[in-house]
Structure 1
Amino acid sequence: MTQSDASRRAAFRARVAERKAPIIAGAYNALSARIIEDTGFEAVYLTGAGVTNMAFGLPDLSFVSLRDMAEHAARVREAVELPLVVDADTGFGNALNVRQSVHTLERSGADAIQMEDQILPKKCGHFEGKQVIPAGEMVGKIRAAVDARRDENFQIIARTDAAAVHGIEDAIERAHRYAEAGADVLFIEATETREDIERLPALFEIPLLINVVIGGKTPTLSQTELAGLGYGLTLYANAALQSAVCGMQRALSKLSEDGRLDEDPTLVAPFAERQRLVDKALFDRLSSEYGD
């Protein structure tokens, strides 16, 4: 662990503890992470759904592995300096697997992981038909994650999907148990009413993350409203993915219909902008310096 890793993780933990609901935007690859950094967000979330959708063309039904997420995390870490939260699904197995997952993802450059209490194979939190493991089993996973981290500022975000299975009160009870087990941040997925969104942060001594899924089950409140309620983080896991899909559909439909596509900034990023985002100027300078 470098000093920059340590300082970044400590600063991110302090930021979450402020409970001002900064938005953390989801990336599905290194370039999307760089655009998130370039547009001014404070942290980036490597989304398992995004990697599944964009890298494999599959739905969010537990098709990605620890190796997939670690490889993507390493690429994102190389591309950006932002704090990086990695979606670790269910921890990729039992408590012993969770231990290995934490070691692997921390080495890959993650500053936090999010881990949920669904059974394997898990589903997107806003799909129907989810099932959850016993709360005690998840407690063991959280304890394993806490013990496995090398940096105490590496945060464990404990997610429960129990609201959709057993109701919101069961999800709240589970979240309390997960906090007692050592979780740093709590995440009650698919909260369906504004009333519950408003009351949840005050029920816990540690910060909560709220997941805003565009088109999903959770009502959308502004970042200002969520900060006023005391949320630690506001997650937009797949805003980049959904906007990218929309942009590709628009541009490629135009090309298909017209048989040509010009550098129209309402449809495509200009060539020069693409080179800026991948920092081509740096490599031009290095090439000159090294006489290549």
Structure 2
Amino acid sequence: MLYAQTPAHEKRRLLRERLASGELLRLPGAFNPLSARLIERKGFDGVYISGAVLSADLGLPDIGLTTLTEVAQRAGQIARMTELPAIVDADTGFGEPMNVARTVQTLEDAGVAGLHIEDQVNPKRCGHLDGKEVVDVSTATQRIRAAADARRDGNLLIMARTDIRAIAGLDAAIDRAKALVDAGADAIFPEAMKDLREFEAVASALDVPVLANMTEFGKSDLFTVDQLRDAGVRMVIWPVSLLRMAMGAAERALDTLNADGSLDAQVGAMQHRADLYELIDYSGYSRFDAGVYDFTIEK
């Protein structure tokens, strides 16, 4: 009932422990707290909170328009609803190194297990679009150093994302990743890799976990978990997939309502009310309510 029982510091410790084991962790993107609970119920290893999803949910493009307050609020709502560790997209850190430090502590307070800071210029844009620009290596490493220094829980995962592959090639991405690790990054998110060979090259060059972004309609093919594991990847996210599926279903429902005047033809595709009640633990709330109000006073 209500929120997760596992405290944030324990989620962080367990995430670190699992990453150290060398296994590959699967983190689908949650577009709201309820979908995070569904991800947990289906047996995944963690929850990813995408900046692109958060901005889209607000009706905005993913070009750096969202604020730290908006990201922290939604991250906290999602993280507290699941026993799984949550990793959040912190964009460029929302400003200069001091802002990055504040971002880290604010998101730490929100209960996330990890976050990533990227090396794009501010305002950023979606990592799988053309026309990106990245900052110089000094600015990129300053962001990561500030993030690592600012955390109070040493188990908070500080991940560095680099978008330089699409601009300067694979070798530049590996060099940038090494510099980011030296600055304090616990893991690397190399964005928009071309193929499995590139993922393998990055993973082989580093001694920290590497994350793969399996977003649809992007620069990378949609590799399987087994393919990515064999390439040395240790985390994989599907950041926008559930939102895309949900919006696709919503559009089909609205088309049906326009065409038929009723959603009778779509009922079979809906989540049943009983399944929703089970997912939100409706019975738990009823038991709590009964325990509070249905009592007798002994005389």
TM-score range, shorter chain: over 0.9
Superposition pairs of residues 1-292 of structure 1, within 5 angstroms: 4-54=7-57, 56-262=58-264, 264=266, 266-291=268-293
Show the counterpart of 2:297: none
Alignment deviations for residues 158-211 of structure 1 (CA, whole Å, 9 cap, x no partner): 000011122221111110000011100001100113321232211111110011
Name which of structure 1's ranges 93-102 and 220-229 shifts more when overlaid on structure 2.
Answer: 220-229
Identity within the alignment, %: 37
Q: Could you tell which deviates more after superposition, 265-274 or 281-290?
A: 265-274
> Larger relative contact order (C-alpha < 8 A, sep ≥ 6)?
1
**Per-residue deviation, residues 220-269 of structure 1 (Å, max 9, x unmatched):** 22111211222110111111111111111122222221111138554211
| Deviation, structure 1 residue 19 | 3.3
Distance 2:256 2:244 in 1: 19
Report the TM-score when normalising by structure 1.
0.95
CA distance in 2, matches of 1:51, 1:30: 12
Structure 2 counterpart of 1:148, one-letter code: A
Structure 2: where are the runs of 5+ without partners?
A: 295-299
CA shift digits 1:26-61 (9 cap, x unpaired): 11211121121121111001111001112x112211
**Distance in 1 separating the partners of 2:286 and 2:137:** 54
**Number of aligned residues:** 290
- CA separation of 1:225 and 1:265: change in aligned 2, threshold 3 A: farther
Q: Tell me the SS of whatever aligns to 2:43.
A: coil
Contact 1:263–1:269 (CA<8 Å) still a contact in 2? no
| CA distance in 2 between partners of 1:280 and 1:158 (Å) | 39
> Contact (CA 8 Å) 1:24, 1:45: kept in 2 or not?
yes
Letter in 2 for 1:43: G
**Larger displacement relative to structure 2 (152-161 or 71-80):** 71-80
How far apart are 1:20 and its partner, in Å?
2.6
Please say if residues 165 and 193 of structure 2, whose CA atoms lie closer than 8 Å, have aligned partners that are also in contact.
yes
8 Å CA contact 1:250–1:267 kept in 2: the answer is no
Query: Partners of 2:230 and 2:112 in 1: how far apart?
Result: 28
TM-score normalised over the length of structure 2 = 0.92
- CA RMSD after TM alignment: 1.7
Structure with the greater alpha carbon radius of gyration: 2
Please state whether the residue corresponding to 2:288 is helix, strand or coil.
helix
Paired AA for residue 282 in structure 1: G
